[in-house]
Amino acid sequence: MKIIACALLTFITMLSCDEPEPKGDCGSVACTEVFMSVGVKVTDREGSPVALDRIRITRLPGNEDLTREYDEETWRIFTQQGSYPIADDSDGGRLPRHTDIKLNFRGYIGSREVANADYVVTFDCCHINLVSGNTELVIE
């Protein structure tokens, strides 16, 4: 009898894991504490990180500016690694959930634009996810 009960409980648990997340109501969804982000690594042809002077993130269409300000130490880390943020879980309050969101990343050295790439992200009830876009850009 215990084997049947365990098998039934396992089957019910597996079914509940396969249920899609409700699109409108996120109140019943248990989220993890993991902080997710979408970013891009910018390198030169030799694979070395490219230190950008500034970036600009815009939502398309409409070119709504979503660029954040970063303190000097955080920006120093970005430039040393050549890794720059596009969006993260903290953007969930200002971007819609359960829809594809088109974003544009532009990177500048001085006044010259050296990187320009489009991305599509989406938020589920808990986290941001990359739908499409190149996460590694090579600057020539």
- Asked whether residue 24 is assigned to any structural domain, the reply reads no
- Asked whether residue 3 is assigned to any structural domain, the reply reads no
Q: Looking at the 3D structure of the chain, how many domains does it have?
A: 1
Residue 130: give the domain boundaries.
36-139
Which CATH number fits the domain that encloses residue 46? Answer: 2.60.40
Cβ distance 103 to 66 under 8 Å?
Answer: yes
- Asked whether residue 96 is assigned to any structural domain, the reply reads yes
- Asked whether residue 16 is assigned to any structural domain, the reply reads no
pLDDT tens, position by position, 66-121: 999 999 999 999 999 999 999 998 888 888 888 999 999 999 999 999 999 999 99
pTM of the entire predicted model: 0.77
